[in-house]
Amino acid sequence: MKVSRLPSSWQNVLADEFDKPYFQQLQEFLQAERQSRVTFPPEEDVFSAFELTPYEQVNVLLLGQDPYHDHNQAHGLCFSVKPDITPPRSLINIFKEMQADLGVNIPSHGYLVSWAKQGILMLNAVLTVRAHEANSHKNKGWEKFTDAVIKKVNQKESPVIFVLWGGYAKKKLKLIDTERHTVIQSAHPSPLSAHNGFFGSKPFSQINNALKSFNQPEINWQLPDL
């Protein structure tokens, strides 16, 4: 895990984290893990969300929990999969709600890079996972790092929209100044909970309405064909 892959804007705001004992231990754990286990995403993709959305461009923070853990799925953005991979069910539910909310077409792929390039930091709370073992890298230090990321985004002078889907994400509410920033929360889009408050929550139009009120460009949610 090369910190050098982080763009300079993120290296500057997160500089204090890299010398902390937990971060050193996390790096040692990941080095050992990659030597002995198949780990996702590939090392060059771990910090993709930061590469695609520099600190100064973050207008929205969408929080996921854990990378996808099957081959060729995860590439460093929450909920997103590589171009030639069938979208998982949570992502299909996101697309269904997006269509119901905005009328956009359901895309043929689940590669969400175009969202990240428009100022959405697509952050998982944990950035790596062992193959086929969900949550296998939790409590190894990633959460401390991504909490620091949330706190730094919270410190931005311009207002940010924090999107928290599901109980795990909602626990991060305590890190956010809700007086200055906008929080959009609902049930998680997973098949287990989407019918309990995700469907019908209209997060996409809510995000764009908030961006408009901040005089920021709205997101074009329609994914381009690949």
Q: What is the 3-state secondary structure (H, E, C) of 22-46?
A: HHHHHHHHHHHHHHHCCEECCHHHC
The DSSP letter of residue 164 is: E
Rounded-to-integer distance, Cα 1 and Cα 153, Å: 22
Could you say which of 16, 66, 70, 225 is catalytic? Answer: 66
Q: Number of C-alpha atoms within 13 angstroms, CB side, residue 17?
A: 22
| Among 83, 80, 132, residue whose Cα is nearest residue 108 | 83
Is 66 in the active site? yes
Instruction: Tell me how far apart the 2 most distant CA atoms of the chain are, in Å.
Output: 50
Instruction: Write out the catalytic residue numbers.
Output: 66
